[in-house]
Amino acid sequence: MTGRQSSRRRRRQPRPPTLEAAMRRIAVVGAGQAGLQLALGLVAAGYQVTLVAERTPAQVCGGRVLSTQALFGPALRTEAAAGLDLWAGEAPAVRAVRSVLAVPPGVRALEFTMTLDEPAQSVDQRLKLARWLELLEERGGRVEYRSLDRDGLCELARRHELTVVAAGRGELAGVFERDAARSPFDRPQRALSCLYVHGVGSPDPGTEPRARMHALPGLGELYLQPALTLSGPCAILLWEALPGGPLDAFRDAPDPDVQLARIRALLSEYLPWEAELWADAEPTDAGAGLSGAVTPVVRRPVAELGTGVDAVHVLGLGDAVVVNDPIAGQGANSAARAAQAYLRAIVEHGEAPYTADWMCRTAERFWRQHARHAVEFTAAMLTVPDHVQGVFAAAAEHEAVARRLANTYAEPSDHAAWLATPDLTAAYLASVRD
């Protein structure tokens, strides 16, 4: 049992196995949000599940932070429906985001508040994934703690009726071919650095918990997200720096104390009102910092391993198929929703074989319904075309615009209805101003 988690076991009894599912063997590779949520859902539905994870719960808890992982209402509902919302009463419920456009030298040019229809929540994935790993075994799933290469994945797939790969990094992600037509970028668009901290002050304590977002044109963005970590409530700071710019100051992956010192220096220069709130800040633990970059990519969701009559197919899930920059908060949200969509497709498939065609259709359905919208919305937030800049200006004048923008983060499919083109945005803004 891992530390703080012992008090959070709100168990729900899994549903009894169905006749259709009882003898079906499914393997899931990867123990992130998508892989574990799918595996737990399959066990509850009566499938024989083997999950392959690289790290034990103790190793997950003792390692570095993994992401910022703010989940919005739709994704949180998938966890609640599966009985996996184990921290609902402890994690800060974030209902609004205070947004500021800042221009050098440290001037607030524009600001507004975006209100969410449903609260968001961030739980340190070290806490969440470690507990979910334990829960999977408690509920009857099999967990193998080991690394897999391409040959090992092929061997695993031959022993199971369906193998789902939810590992978005390393050699296994490479088995899925990049889809150039759907990948908007071929290199990282931001240099990233996040730090979990205790002791950050609030500009308006009566409004807490509230997220804060600062946009610095030509330099990058700063996000502050209330969260729950191993040692209790905290704040997560995420720098989204344009590569090569003055905010791109963490490429050497400094330890948390050095990272904090550099953050304070940047805040003092570019966001002095925020710097004042960091006087008593300190890293939550030795693994509280993370720096790096990601290349946003969309991969083909089905891979063939082996040759001839011995060939097998595997299905990609989550980051194995779609990797988004975290600027729009779509990573963990898309992972949770993909796990739910795949679970539904598997259960509805009954006793039929899991063919490559079925895999493609399952992934394509999720792409059309959700993933493409998350990719397009994230690209808009990274590039900020003129009509999107106009939306931010309008949000400072009209609460309805600010609210719709906030809830597009939660439901990115709405991007297609009002943000996807200049004409759509102009028509919407005109309707608000009338």
Mean pLDDT, range 363-379, rounded to an integer: 98
Average pLDDT over residues 122-134: 98
Side chain identity at 164, as an amino acid letter?
V
What is d(CA 358, CA 172) in angstroms, rounded to the nearest whole number? 21
Q: Which one of 3.40.50.720, 3.30.590.10, 3.40.50.1820, 3.30.9.40 gives the CATH number of domain 94-120+189-292?
A: 3.30.9.40
Element (H, E) at 28: strand 25-29
According to DSSP, residue 403 is labeled H
| Mean pLDDT (whole number) for 156-161 | 96
Ramachandran class of 249: left when φ > 0, alpha when ψ lies in -120 to 50, beta otherwise: alpha
Helix (H) or strand (E) holding 224: strand 220-229
DSSP state at residue 178 = B
Q: Where are the domains of the chain?
A: 3-85+123-185+296-380, 94-120+189-292, 385-433
- Which amino acid, residue 402? A
Model confidence pLDDT, tens digit, residues 251-263: 999 999 999 999 9
The token duo for 348 is 């509805």
State yes or no: pLDDT of 12 exceeds 50: no
Task: Give the pLDDT band of residue 2 (cuts 50, 70, 90).
Answer: very low
CATH code assigned to 3-85+123-185+296-380: 3.50.50.60
The per-residue pLDDT for 22 is: 53
pLDDT of residue 60: 97
Confidence grade of residue 106 (pLDDT, cut at 50, 70, 90): confident
What tens digit of pLDDT does each residue of 204-218 get? 998 889 999 999 999
- 17 versus 355: the higher-pLDDT residue is 355
> How many angstroms separate the CA atoms of 221 and 94, rounded?
19
| CA angle, residues 253, 379, 329, in degrees to nearest 5 | 60
CB 80 within 8 A of CB 119: no
292-351 tens-digit pLDDT: 999 999 999 999 999 888 899 999 999 999 999 999 999 999 999 999 999 999 999 999
Average pLDDT over residues 40-69: 97
Q: What is the pLDDT of residues 272-288, one digit of tens each?
A: 999 999 999 999 999 99
At residue 18 the predicted structure's pLDDT band, cuts being 50, 70 and 90, is: very low
Q: Is 22 exposed, middle or buried (0-12, 13-18, 19+ CB in 10 A)?
A: exposed
More confident residue, 11 or 381: 381
Q: Residue 434 class from Cβ within 10 Å (0-12 exposed, 13-18 middle, 19+ buried)?
A: exposed
